Amino acid sequence: MPVYTVSHVDPLRICVIMVGLPARGKSFISQKVVRYLSWLSVKTKCFTVSNVRRQDYVNQPSAEFFDPSNEKDREIRLQANRDAIDAILKWFNEEDGCVAILDSSNVTVERRNTVAAIFKKNGVQPLFLESYVDDESIVQANISDINSTSPDYEVSSR
């Protein structure tokens, strides 16, 4: 008898919703979960909101873009989140996905409630996974890594 089985659940539709401040390892954890579940033959995919935002809206944002009081850019960030959720639902419905990961900060209770309600309404079980890091040296190391590897911080060759 296999250790991992999902035969009693039909259909298996779970969305792992990442929660945490920037530079806390959410994307790293997301990729590790995808790799592990895929190794177990569970159809899994990560949907990273910042990739959607870079692709469809703002490639290299300024610091002001992320300012919570900046209403115009806040709407772009929310739309990128909605687009990622729509892509997840499409993936579940058209490609028979089992586990999706919404890689985004989702730090407010309001955002988490909204996202959970959308998934529940569409027959997807939400599961929240918070990445909490309070060791400042780890956060600073993550920020340095992000600054050197993220497309948001690429230096133009002009």
Measured from the Cβ of residue 40, the count of other Cβ atoms closer than 10 Å reads: 12
Q: What are residue 98's phi and psi, to 5 degrees? A: -110, -50
14-153, what's its fold? Rossmann fold (3.40.50)
Q: What are residue 55's phi and psi, to 5 degrees? A: -70, -40
- Amino acid residing at 146: I
Cβ atoms of 44 and 131 within 8 Å: the answer is no
Question: So where are the chain's domains?
Answer: 14-153
- What's the whole-model pTM score? 0.81
Contacts of 142 (CB under 8 A, 6+ apart): 23, 24, 25, 133
Q: Tens of pLDDT along the chain (158 residues)? A: 444 545 555 678 999 999 998 878 899 999 999 999 999 999 999 999 999 988 888 777 777 887 888 888 888 889 999 999 999 999 999 999 999 999 999 989 999 999 999 999 999 999 999 999 888 888 777 777 766 666 665 554 43
Contacts of 15 (CB under 8 A, 6+ apart): 88, 99, 100, 101, 102, 119, 124, 125, 126, 127
